[in-house]
Structure 1
C-alpha cells in the first residue's frame, strides 16, 4: 500500500507514532497488548511490522522474531531475531508460531484477508493472535471522512478494518475471539495540550460508549476440531439435570466482543 510519499503505509504509520497523538495511541496499545501476552507460552513469538515498537517485551517466550518490510535494520542478537518478510507471504512453516502480533498490519496491507489467512496458517493449534487497528466508526474515523478536515491518522478511514468485519473473517478461519478492548476516546486533536485536557474521556468512554474508541486491540485463539468419542447414551435423569442447570444459569452481560 503506497502513501502520499510513495512509501509503504506502514512506514508512514511508524513516523506518525512518534507524534503526540501517535504516542497517545501507542501507549494505550502497549499497555493492553502487554497484559494480553504476558501469560502466553510456547517456543516462538513473532511480531509482524513496526519492529522499533517492541510489543513482546512483557512476554516470556524464549525465541522472539520481529519482521521488517525493508532490508534495513535486519539483525539478530541473543534470543531475538529480526528479518525481512511480507505479511502476505510469511517465511514460517505451518503451525510453527505460538504467539503472533499484528500491530495495524491488516489496514496497511493491500490484501488484509490474505494476511489473516497466513497468520492462521503459521499458528499452532491453540496459538494466540493479537491484532490492533483503528476503529472506522469512531470520532476519528468520522473526522477522516470529511474532505475539508485533515485526517488524524495516516491510515484512511476506508482502509480501516471494523470489528464486525474482523469477526466475520475470524469465523471463516476458525479463530475464536478471546478478549478485546476499545480505547483512545479523546476527540480528534493533534497537540499534547489538548490530549491532556481530554484525558478524562478514557474512563467515561469505557463506561458509556465503548465501541466508539479510536483504536482497538483484540486477541484470538486458533481452534481445531476436537475428536468426539462415541459412548453410551446419557440416562434420562442426567439429561433433565443438564436442562435444569441451563435454565438456572444467569445470562451474561452483552459485550461488543
Structure 2
C-alpha cells in the first residue's frame, strides 16, 4: 500500500473520527470490552492488526505483543508493543500456526476483502488460538443513517459495517467456534459528549430489551481443527489382584460339633 493510499484509507478516517466526542465515547467502551476478552487468553505470541488508538492487548499477559498495520504507529504509541510490522491484514507476513491471539479492531469493515482477512487469521492462528473482532453494528441507532441511505452518515466515511450474524457465519465456515460476544452503545447518534451523557440511561435499558441493537460489538472465537483431539498417556487398566484363600484355625465347641455332654 502506497503512502498516499494510507492517508485516504478507511482506517485513517476511522482514527480521525475516534478523536471526536462520539469517537472517544466508543473508544472507552471498546477498550474495556477488549480488556475483558483478552485477559484470560494464554500463550506466547499475541498480535493486534491496526487501529493504534486502541491498546487491544493491554490486559493480556503473553510475553510477546506485536502490532501490524499499513503504517507505523506514532512514537508515543510504540511503547505498547514489542515489535511492529508494516503489512496489510489481507496478507499477514507470519508463518502458518504461529500466533496464539489475534485481535482485529474494525479490520473487517475497513477492508476491501474481509473474507481474505479472516482466511489469513485462520492461517496464522494455532489450533485453539483466539480471534477477537470489533466493529460497528449496522442494525443500530448509529448505523441507521447508512441503512436509510442518508448522504451524511454518523459513522466515519469509507467503512462498511458488517452485521455480527454475517461474521459468525463466515467464522463457522472457517472452523471457528464463537465463544463470546458483547454489544454496547445504545444511545442515539449524538455528536456531543453532553447529549451522550444525557442518554446514558439507555445503556442498561438496551442491554435488557434490545441487546442486539448496540452501536458496537465484540466477537471472540476459537480456531478448531477438525479431527484433532488431545491425546493423553496410554493408561492401562490393571486387573485387581486375586485374593488368596486363607485357612484359619478356630476352636470348635463340643456341643456345636454334634457331641453330647460327657459324663
TM-score, normalising length from structure 1? 0.81
Seen in structure 2, the aligned counterparts of structure 1 residues 227 and 15 have a Cα distance that, compared at 3 Å, is closer
CA distance in 1, matches of 2:32, 2:157: 22
Unaligned runs of 5+ in 1: 230-257
Seen in structure 2, the aligned counterparts of structure 1 residues 150 and 227 have a Cα distance that, compared at 3 Å, is closer
- Give the structure with the higher percent helix: 1
Q: CA RMSD in A?
A: 2.5
Q: Which residue of 1 aligns with 2:216?
A: 215
CA distance in 2, matches of 1:27, 1:77: 20
CA distance in 2, matches of 1:182, 1:71: 30
Q: Which residue of 2 aligns with 1:131?
A: 133
Say how many residue pairs are matched: 227
CA apart distance, 1:155: 4.5
Alignment of 1:1-257 (within 5 A): 7-71=8-72, 73=74, 80-148=82-150, 150-155=152-157, 159-227=160-228
Bigger Rg, which one:
2
Unaligned runs of 5+ in 2: 232-263
Seen in structure 2, the aligned counterparts of structure 1 residues 58 and 174 have a Cα distance that, compared at 3 Å, is same
CA apart distance, 1:71: 4.8
CA distance in 1, matches of 2:72, 2:32: 29
User: Are the equivalent residues in 2 in contact too, given 1:131–1:218 (CA < 8 A)?
Assistant: yes
CA distance in 1, matches of 2:19, 2:79: 25
CA distance in 2, matches of 1:166, 1:209: 20
**What's the CA shift string for 1:69-88, capped at 9, x where partnerless?**
12564897696112201000
CA distance in 2, matches of 1:53, 1:35: 14
TM-score, normalising length from structure 2? 0.80
User: Are the equivalent residues in 2 in contact too, given 1:62–1:79 (CA < 8 A)?
Assistant: no
Seen in structure 2, the aligned counterparts of structure 1 residues 73 and 191 have a Cα distance that, compared at 3 Å, is closer
CA distance in 2, matches of 1:125, 1:227: 9
User: Are the equivalent residues in 2 in contact too, given 1:144–1:156 (CA < 8 A)?
Assistant: no
Q: Following TM superposition, where does structure 1 have runs of at least 4 consecutive aligned residues deviating by more than 3 angstroms?
A: 71-79, 145-149, 226-229
